[in-house]
Amino acid sequence: MTACKEYRNNESGSFWMCFLGGLVALVSTVVILLATLRVTGIATSLGGIQLPRRIGWPMVMLLVGMVLLIGAWPKANSPIHRRCQSAVDHLATLWRAQGLLGRLVLCALIGHGAISLAYAFELPANLNEVFLERAKLTTTPVSIREGDRYVHWEFFIPQWKKTIPSRASLAYRGQWEGPLIAYELYPRRLYLLPNDAQRLAANWNNHRWLAKKTRGKSLHDRWVDEYWFERSSWPTFDLKSFIQERGITFLLTFDEADEKTCSLLRIPDFSEDKLRNDPSAVRVDP
Amino acid sequence: MLQVILTAVVLIFLLLVWLAGWAWLEIFSRFEPKANRLLQAGPADAFLIGITMLGMASYSILWVFGTMPPLGYWAMLGLQLVLAILGLRLAIRRCQGHLEKKRSRGLWAILLIWFVVLGLFAAQLPLLGYDARAIYGLKAKILADGGSLWGPDFRDPYRLHFASNYPLLIPILESFFFRFRLLIDPNHAWCDVGVPLLFWPFVIAGTTMIVENANRLAPGWGFLAGLVWVFTPMVWRASEGAGLSGCADLPFAVFTAAAVCHVAFGWSAGNRFELLLGGIYSGAAMLTKQEGIIALGLILLTIPLNQLMEQDAKSIAGIWARPKCRNDCLLKLGFFLLGVVPFVALGRGLHAGMPQQAYMRSYAATLSWDWLTQVVNRPVVVLGFALKEFIGNHWGLVWLVLAIALLMRRKRCLSPEVRFLRLFVAFLLMSYSGIFVVTPYPLSYHLNTAYARLVLHTLPLATVILIEQLAATGWLAINRSSETSCGTLFAR
C-alpha cells in the first residue's frame, strides 16, 4: 500500500488503476467463494439471498482485476511480475498506436477472450449439470418446465429394456423422440408402422422446445409439411404382413406431453384397429 | 475402474492411429521429389490421414462384406499397429524438429493444459447431441454389432433410423469404441460414456492445423490463430452441434479446412504431395458428412476462379494455348482428383442404393418452379437468422472481429492462397444459405437445428483468414518509443 501511495504521487492514474484492479479482484474473489459454498453444498443462501452458482464471469473479472493490479503496481520485484507488466505495457502501447478500427479489433479480441474464458471456467459446472440432468431424467417420470408438463422417455428406458427381449423388433408410435429411443434401446429394433411414418412425415414442424424457443412462430411453418405431405406418395401395405415380415412383437407409444398415453403393448394385446390410425398432423398450441 | 481402462484403451488406439498416420504420410510423400517430402505435413496431418485411411480400409471391408465382423476390427487394429511401428521413428524425428522451432514453450504449455482439461471432460461425457445419437451413434452401434449394410437396418425405409443413408466414417470410428466396450465391459455394452473422447483429437488436430497454416500465411501469428480457435466455445462445448457433442461437424470442419489449405498451397507451389493430401481430405470430408460433396464442388469451382482472378483473361487464354502450362494445370488437377476419386467411388458404391427413410424429403424435389415460388420470402428470414447466429455467445466475438478486421486496410496484396481460402469460405456460406432457402423442411426447425453446426464448418478457415488479415494490416506494428503503463491505457 505504501508503495502504491508513493507511486500515486507520481501518477495518480496508476493509483486509481491499482485501486480499481484490487477492488475488482476482491469482489470477484468474494463471489467465487460464495459460489464455492453453494456448489459444495455448505450453504445455498445467506440472509435469505440465494448464493451464485456460476463462477465463469467472476473468474474472468478476477483475472481482469489481477491484470490491472499487476500492471499498475509501481514495483516489479519478480521476473514474472516484470513480464506481466511488460505485457500490459505492450497492450497499452498497442492501444495507443491504433486507429478506430484497430481499437475495435482489440476490444473485440479481448471480448472474445473474455467470453471464451468465462465458458471455459464453467466447464466443471457444465459437466456436473450434465450428470444432474441425466440423473433427474432417469429417476423422475415427469417434470414441469415453464408451466408445461414434460414426460421423460429416459425414465422408461430401464423398464422397457427389462420387458423387451434384447433382439426383439417393436413398432414406435410418437414424435421425434423416437430416433433417440431407438438409439437407447439398441439392440432392439424400432420400426414405424406405415400410418405412424406418415404422421411423423407430416410433423416436422411439431417440436415443443422449438415452439417455446420461437414463441410459436415455428408453428407457422406447418404449411411446409402440408405441402410436401400432399405431394408424397405412400405405398399401401397389408398391416399383418408388414408386422410379420419385420418380426414386430411390441408397440411402444410415447407422448412427451401426457404420460397416460405412454404404453408398451405386446402384439397379442392389441387389435389391428388399434394399429390403424389416420395420419394427420398433430396440432400443438404455442 | 472399467471406464478408466476403456479410456486408456481408446487413447492407445488414437495414438496408434496417429503414429500410423506418419507412415501413410511417408508413403504418400513419395509422389513428391525428395527435397520437398513431408515439408508441409505436420502432426495434424498425421492424425487426419491416419483416421482417413482407417476409415477407408474399414469402408472397403463394408463394401465387400456389407458388415464389420469382429475379425475385421482385429485386422484393422493389426494394420494400425504395424503402420504405427513404421511411423514411430518418423514421428519422433518430425516432432523433435517441430518442438525446436517453438519459441514460446510457456504459451504452448497453456494449450497443453487446456487439451488435458478437455480430454478429461470428454472422457466423462456421454453422447449428448440429437444427431450424435440418432444419426451417428445408432449407426456405430449397428456396425459394432455386426449389422449388415444390405439388411433392414440400413435399407428398410420404415426402420426408425434417422438418415440411414448418411456417410459412415464417424460411425466406423465410434464402432471401434463400442467394440472395445464389448470386450472390456460387456455388461454395459452399449453405454456411450466416453465416446466424445474420439472427437477430442480433432480439436487438437484442428488447432495444430490452424497454427501451421496461419504461420505459413503470416509467420509468427500461428499461435494467436490457434488460441482464437481452440477457446471458441462452439469448438469444445458439448451442446447440440458443438465440437464435443458427438456430431460429425467438427471432424468435417477440420477435414475440409485441411483439404482447402493443402489445395491452396499445393496449387500455388505445384506440390503434388499437398494436392494429393488435399484430395484425400476432401474425400474424407465426403465420407464424414453429406455436405462433403458441396465442399468438393466448391473446391473445384474455386480453383479456376482463383486462377482467373490471379491473371487477366488474356493470360488465361495464354495458359490454354501453351501446352506446357496446360499440362501443368491438368497434372495438378489430376493429383487432386487421384486423392478424391477412391472416396467418391466408395461413397457411391455403398450409399447410392440406400433408400431414404419414409419420413425424409428429397432436396432434388425442391428444384421445381412451384416450390421455388413458395419460398421467395425465405432469403430475408435466413439472412436475419444468420445475423443473429453470428453474434451468438457460443462463437465468442470471432465473427465480429473478422468483420471489423476485413474493413481494415491491408499493407500487402492478397496472395493466391489467401484469396483461395476467402473465396471458398464465401462460397460455402452462400451455398449453405441457399440450402436453407430451398429446404423442404420447415424453415424455423431447420435453421434452429442446423445453422450453427453448418457455420462451424467455416470456422477453422475463417480463423486463418482473420489472423492473416490482422497480420497483413500491420495491426501489431506498434511504435515502441511511446511506452506507456496500464495507468494510462485508457487515458486517451
Contact between chains at B448 and A227 (C-beta distance less than 8 A): no
User: Whole-angstrom Cα distance, residue B240 to residue B225?
Assistant: 25
Task: Choose, out of B136, B158, B483, the residue to mutate when testing the contact with A (most A CBs < 10 Å).
Answer: B158
Report residue B375 as a C-alpha cell.
Answer: 419460398
Coil/strand/helix, residue A253: strand
* pLDDT computed for residue A114 by the predictor: 94
A105 CB within 8 Å of a chain B CB: yes
Sort strands A45-46 and A148-151 into parallel, antiparallel or unpaired.
unpaired
For residue B130, which residues of chain A lie inside 8 Å, CB to CB?
Answer: 179-180
pLDDT confidence bin for B484, thresholds 50/70/90: very low
Contact between chains at B238 and A130 (C-beta distance less than 8 A): yes
Task: Search chain B and give the residue with CA nearest A104.
Answer: B404
Q: Which one is predicted more confidently, B117 or A284? A: B117
User: Whole-angstrom Cα distance, residue A129 to residue A146?
Assistant: 19
Q: What is the mean pLDDT of residues A40-47?
A: 80
User: Whole-angstrom Cα distance, residue A224 to residue A211?
Assistant: 16
The pLDDT tens digits for B181-192 are 999 988 888 999
For residue A117, which residues of chain B lie inside 8 Å, CB to CB?
Answer: 231
Are B26 and B38 within 8 A, CB to CB? yes
Contact between chains at B448 and A210 (C-beta distance less than 8 A): yes
Sort strands A142-145 and A148-151 into parallel, antiparallel or unpaired.
antiparallel
Sort strands A49-50 and A248-253 into parallel, antiparallel or unpaired.
unpaired
Nearest to A108 among B117, B126, B404 (CB): B404
* pLDDT computed for residue B312 by the predictor: 60
Q: Which one is predicted more confidently, B38 or A279? A: B38
For residue B476, which residues of chain A lie inside 8 Å, CB to CB?
Answer: 94
A227 CB within 8 Å of a chain B CB: yes
* pLDDT computed for residue B103 by the predictor: 56
Question: Looking at A89-93, A227-231, B31-35, B284-288, which range is the least confident one?
Answer: B31-35
User: Whole-angstrom Cα distance, residue B455 to residue B90?
Assistant: 36
User: Whole-angstrom Cα distance, residue B230 to residue B221?
Assistant: 15
The pLDDT tens digits for B35-92 are 566 566 789 999 999 999 999 999 999 999 999 999 999 999 999 999 999 999 888 8
Residue B446, pLDDT above cutoff 90: yes
Count Cα atoms within 13 angstroms, Cβ side, for A143.
Answer: 14
For residue B232, which residues of chain A lie inside 8 Å, CB to CB?
Answer: 112, 116
Q: How far is CA B231 from the centre of its chain?
A: 17
**Which among A54, A53, A64 is positioned nearest to A24, based on CA atoms?**
A64
* pLDDT computed for residue A147 by the predictor: 83
Question: Looking at A192-206, B81-95, B300-314, B393-407, which range is the least confident one?
Answer: B300-314
Burial (CB count within 10 angstroms: exposed 0-12, middle 13-18, buried 19+), residue A79: exposed
Contact between chains at B158 and A192 (C-beta distance less than 8 A): yes
pLDDT > 90 fraction of chain B, expressed in percent and rounded = 71
Residue B436, pLDDT above cutoff 90: yes
For residue A93, which residues of chain B lie inside 8 Å, CB to CB?
Answer: 478-480, 482-484
For residue A104, which residues of chain B lie inside 8 Å, CB to CB?
Answer: 404
User: Whole-angstrom Cα distance, residue B204 to residue B49?
Assistant: 14
Residue A286, pLDDT above cutoff 50: no
Q: Which sign does the torsion angle of CA B225, B227, B228, B232 carry?
A: positive
Restricting to A residues 47-76, those with a Cβ less than 8 Å away from any Cβ of B are 67-68, 71-72
* pLDDT computed for residue B79 by the predictor: 94
Amino acid identity at B16: L
pLDDT confidence bin for B196, thresholds 50/70/90: very high
Are B404 and A108 within 8 A, CB to CB? yes
User: Whole-angstrom Cα distance, residue B90 to residue B23?
Assistant: 8
User: Whole-angstrom Cα distance, residue B225 to residue A155?
Assistant: 44
* pLDDT computed for residue B102 by the predictor: 52
Task: Choose, out of B125, B138, B160, the residue to mutate when testing the contact with A (most A CBs < 10 Å).
Answer: B160
A102 CB within 8 Å of a chain B CB: yes
User: Whole-angstrom Cα distance, residue B383 to residue B91?
Assistant: 46
- A-B contacts (CB, under 8 Å): 221
Q: Which residues contact A34 (CB under 8 A, 6 or more apart)?
A: A46, A51, A52
The pLDDT tens digits for A230-254 are 888 888 888 888 898 899 999 999 9
A93 CB within 8 Å of a chain B CB: yes
Q: Which residues contact B141 (CB under 8 A, 6 or more apart)?
A: A183, A186, A187, B175, B178, B190
Q: What residue has cell string 478424391? A: B340
Q: Which one is predicted more confidently, A199 or B38? A: A199
User: Whole-angstrom Cα distance, residue B262 to residue B256?
Assistant: 10
The pLDDT tens digits for B110-166 are 889 999 999 999 999 999 999 999 999 999 999 999 989 999 999 999 999 999 999
**Which among B173, B154, B137 is positioned nearest to B356, based on CA atoms?**
B154
**Alpha-carbon distance A262 to nearest alpha carbon in chain B (angstroms):** 18
* pLDDT computed for residue B313 by the predictor: 56
Q: Which long-range contacts (CB under 8 A, 24 or more apart) does A260-268 make?
A: A262/A151, A262/A156, A264/A159, A264/A160, A264/A163, A264/A164, A267/A243
Contact between chains at A186 and B145 (C-beta distance less than 8 A): yes
The pLDDT tens digits for A54-108 are 889 999 999 999 888 888 887 777 887 887 888 888 888 888 888 899 999 999 9
pLDDT confidence bin for B459, thresholds 50/70/90: very high
The pLDDT tens digits for B362-402 are 899 999 999 999 999 999 999 999 999 998 889 999 999 99
A89 CB within 8 Å of a chain B CB: yes
Contact between chains at A183 and B137 (C-beta distance less than 8 A): yes
* pLDDT computed for residue A185 by the predictor: 95
Amino acid identity at B136: Y
Count Cα atoms within 13 angstroms, Cβ side, for B324.
Answer: 0
The neighbouring-strand residues paired with A173 are A253
Name the pTM for this structure: 0.91
Q: For residue B457, what is the DSSP state?
A: T
The pLDDT tens digits for A143-164 are 988 888 899 999 999 999 999 9
A10 CB within 8 Å of a chain B CB: no
Restricting to A residues 126-165, those with a Cβ less than 8 Å away from any Cβ of B are 126-127, 130, 134
Contact between chains at B486 and A204 (C-beta distance less than 8 A): no
